[in-house]
C-alpha cells in the first residue's frame, strides 16, 4: 500500500466518522482508528458536535428578526435618500414652494449687494480703494428693496 | 405577515424569482428570502461569532444583502453569494473588534453575558472552538462549517468548492488537524 493510499484511507475514515456523528450514529470516540492521530482528530470532531448542538430558531424569533431587519433597512434607506435631496436642493425647487425659492433668491441678491457694494460703486473698483468708504446709497436702496421683496414673499399667504 | 409573503413560502418560488420581485420594489419577497436562508446564515455565524453578537451579525448579513441585491447578476446561486457575504461580514466583525483592541479576557465577558452558563457544560469548549475556528485559514474554516454548520454532504461541498471528492476529504482532514492544533495552543 502506497503512502497516498494510506492517506486517502485516513481521509475517508475521518469524513465517514464526521457523517456518523452528524447523523447521530456516533457520540463517543471510535473503538478503532487507522492511527493515533486519526483518533485525536475524531475526538476534535466530537467536541465540535457537542459544543454546538443543533439549534432551531423558533418562529417567534424568526418573525422578530425579520421585522428588525426590515425596519433597519427602512431606516437606512430614509437616511440614504435624505442627503441627495438636501444636496440637490429639492427643498428649494420652484415646484415645491415657489415663494420660498423666490424669497431665498432675493435674500441672496441682497447679501451680494451689501457685500460687493464698496467694490462695485467705488471709483477705482478695487477693494483697497473701497476700504473705508461708505456703502453708496443706491446699493443700500437696492438691498433694502430685495429684502422687502423677500419678506413679502415669505409672509404672503398661499393663494 | 403579508399574504404575498405567505404565498411565497408555501409554494416553491425560486430565489431568482424572489430577487426579481425585490428589485421591482416588493419588500415582502425579501422577507421570504430571509426566512428561507436565515437558519443557514444564523447557524454558520454562531460557530464563529460570540453568542451575544450572533443575532446582530446575522442581521448585518441580510441588510448588506438587501443593499447589494440590485448588483446581484445571478451568475452564482443566491445561497453561494450569501455565503460569501456571511464570510465577509464575519471577517469585518473581527476587524472591527481588533481595532477596538478586544481585551484578552473577552471569553470571560462572553461567559458572563450568558445567563444559563452554569447549566452549559460545553460553554468553555464552545468559546475555545469558536476562537480556534475563527483563526483558521478561510479554506479550512469553510470546509468544516459547510459540513457542520450548513449540513452539506461531502460531495456537495466538493461541488461548491469546485473541487473533487478526494481533494475535499483531504482538505477536511487537514482542516480538522489545524483546528486540533489551535485548540491545543488555546489550552496551553
Report the CATH number that the domain containing residue B139 is assigned in CATH.
Answer: 1.10.10.10
Domain presence at residue B107: no
In this predicted structure, what is the pLDDT of residue B103? 47
All residues of chain A having their beta carbon less than 8 Å from the beta carbon of residue B169 are: 8, 11-12, 14-15
The pLDDT confidence band at residue B170, using thresholds 50, 70 and 90, is very high
Alpha helix locations (H) across chain B? 3-10, 15-23, 27-48, 54-68, 78-99, 106-113, 123-134, 138-148, 154-160, 165-187
If you average pLDDT over residues A43-51, what whole number do you get?
A: 94
Residue range of the domain that includes B39: 1-102
The pLDDT confidence band at residue A89, using thresholds 50, 70 and 90, is low
| A99 vs B105, residue with greater confidence | A99
Contact yes or no for B58 and A12 at CB 8 A? no
Residue count (chain A)? 159
All residues of chain A having their beta carbon less than 8 Å from the beta carbon of residue B66 are: 69, 73
> Is B137 an 8 Å CB contact of chain A?
no
The pLDDT confidence band at residue A57, using thresholds 50, 70 and 90, is confident
Q: How many domains does chain B have?
A: 2
Domain presence at residue A60: no
- Residues B82 and B161 occupy one common structural domain: no
If you average pLDDT over residues A100-120, what whole number do you get?
A: 76
In this predicted structure, what is the pLDDT of residue A133? 53
| B8 vs B136, residue with greater confidence | B136
> Is A85 an 8 Å CB contact of chain B?
no
If you average pLDDT over residues B109-118, what whole number do you get?
A: 49
Contact yes or no for B154 and A15 at CB 8 A? yes
Grid cell digits, residue A116: 460687493
Closest CA to B58 of B31, B107, B93, B23: B93
Contact yes or no for B148 and A44 at CB 8 A? no
In this predicted structure, what is the pLDDT of residue A80? 75
In this predicted structure, what is the pLDDT of residue A93? 53
In this predicted structure, what is the pLDDT of residue A86? 61
Domain presence at residue A64: no
Domain presence at residue A76: no
Q: Which of B148, B166, B173 sits opposite A41 (nearest CB)?
A: B173
- Residues B96 and B163 occupy one common structural domain: no
| A101 vs B90, residue with greater confidence | B90
- Residues A151 and A95 occupy one common structural domain: yes
- Residues B69 and B10 occupy one common structural domain: yes
What span, in angstroms and rounded, lies between the C-alpha atoms of A144 and A156? 18
> Is A46 an 8 Å CB contact of chain B?
no
> Is B66 an 8 Å CB contact of chain A?
yes
- Residues A45 and A101 occupy one common structural domain: no
In this predicted structure, what is the pLDDT of residue B153? 95
- Residues A45 and A94 occupy one common structural domain: no
Q: Which of A41, A45, A76 sits opposite B63 (nearest CB)?
A: A76
With vertex at residue A142, the alpha carbon angle to CA A141 and CA A147, rounded to the nearest 5 degrees, is: 95
Contact yes or no for B31 and A66 at CB 8 A? yes
All residues of chain A having their beta carbon less than 8 Å from the beta carbon of residue B38 are: 57, 62, 65-66
What span, in angstroms and rounded, lies between the C-alpha atoms of A61 and A67? 10
Domain presence at residue B111: no
Contact yes or no for A70 and B31 at CB 8 A? yes
Which one of A43-47, A52-56, A71-75 scores highest in mean pLDDT?
Answer: A43-47
> Which residue among B102, B134, B164 closes a domain?
B102
In this predicted structure, what is the pLDDT of residue B57? 95
- How large is the C-alpha radius of gyration of chain A? 40
If you average pLDDT over residues A145-156, what whole number do you get?
A: 80
Domain presence at residue A106: yes
Residue range of the domain that includes A27: 10-51
Q: Average pLDDT of chain B?
A: 84
| A8 vs A126, residue with greater confidence | A8
**What CATH code is carried by the domain that includes residue B43?**
1.10.1740.10
Residue A92 has pLDDT above 70, yes or no: no
Domain presence at residue B174: yes
Domain presence at residue A120: yes
- Residues B76 and B18 occupy one common structural domain: yes
If you average pLDDT over residues A56-71, what whole number do you get?
A: 90
- Residues B45 and B97 occupy one common structural domain: yes
The pLDDT confidence band at residue B108, using thresholds 50, 70 and 90, is very low
Domain presence at residue B176: yes
- Residues B96 and B155 occupy one common structural domain: no
If you average pLDDT over residues A60-87, what whole number do you get?
A: 81
Domain presence at residue B90: yes
What span, in angstroms and rounded, lies between the C-alpha atoms of A74 and A93? 26
Q: How many domains does chain A have?
A: 2
Closest CA to B57 of B49, B68, B65: B49
A-proximal residues of B, 106-135, CB under 8 Å: 122, 125-126, 129
Percent of chain B with pLDDT over 70: 82
Grid cell digits, residue B106: 473577552
Amino acid at each position: 500500500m502506497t503512502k497516498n493510499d494510506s492517506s486517502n484511507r485516513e481521509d475517508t475514515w475521518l469524513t465517514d466518522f464526521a457523517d456518523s456523528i452528524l447523523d447521530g450514529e456516533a457520540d463517543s470516540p471510535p473503538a478503532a482508528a487507522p492511527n493515533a492521530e486519526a483518533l485525536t482528530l475524531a475526538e476534535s470532531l466530537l467536541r465540535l458536535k457537542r459544543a454546538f448542538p443543533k439549534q432551531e430558531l423558533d418562529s417567534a424569533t424568526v418573525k422578530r428578526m425579520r421585522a428588525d431587519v426590515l425596519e433597519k433597512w427602512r431606516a437606512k434607506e430614509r437616511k440614504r435618500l435624505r442627503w441627495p435631496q438636501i444636496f440637490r436642493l429639492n427643498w428649494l425647487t420652484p415646484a415645491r414652494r415657489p415663494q420660498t425659492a423666490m424669497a431665498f433668491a432675493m435674500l441672496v441678491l441682497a447679501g451680494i449687494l451689501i457685500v460687493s457694494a464698496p467694490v462695485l460703486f467705488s471709483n477705482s473698483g478695487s477693494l483697497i480703494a473701497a476700504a473705508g468708504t461708505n456703502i453708496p446709497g443706491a446699493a443700500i436702496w437696492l438691498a433694502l428693496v430685495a429684502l422687502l421683496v423677500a419678506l413679502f414673499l415669505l409672509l404672503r399667504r398661499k393663494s | 405577515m403579508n399574504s404575498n409573503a405567505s404565498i411565497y413560502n408555501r409554494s416553491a418560488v425560486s430565489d431568482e424569482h424572489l430577487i426579481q420581485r425585490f428589485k421591482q420594489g416588493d419588500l415582502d419577497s425579501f422577507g421570504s428570502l430571509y426566512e428561507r436562508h436565515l437558519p443557514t446564515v444564523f447557524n454558520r455565524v454562531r460557530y464563529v461569532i460570540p453568542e451575544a453578537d450572533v443575532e446582530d451579525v446575522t442581521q448585518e448579513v441580510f441588510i448588506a444583502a438587501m443593499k447589494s441585491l440590485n448588483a446581484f447578476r445571478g451568475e452564482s446561486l443566491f445561497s453561494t453569494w450569501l455565503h460569501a457575504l456571511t464570510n465577509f461580514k464575519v471577517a469585518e466583525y473581527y476587524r472591527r473588534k481588533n481595532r477596538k483592541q478586544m481585551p484578552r479576557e473577552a471569553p470571560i465577558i462572553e461567559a458572563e453575558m450568558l445567563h444559563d452558563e452554569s447549566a452549559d457544560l460545553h460553554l468553555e469548549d464552545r468559546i475555545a472552538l469558536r476562537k480556534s475556528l475563527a483563526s483558521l485559514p478561510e479554506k479550512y474554516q469553510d470546509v468544516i462549517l459547510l459540513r457542520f454548520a450548513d449540513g452539506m454532504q461531502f460531495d456537495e461541498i466538493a461541488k461548491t468548492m469546485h473541487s473533487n471528492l478526494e481533494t475535499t476529504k483531504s482538505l477536511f482532514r487537514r482542516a480538522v488537524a489545524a483546528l486540533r492544533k489551535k485548540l491545543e495552543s488555546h489550552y496551553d
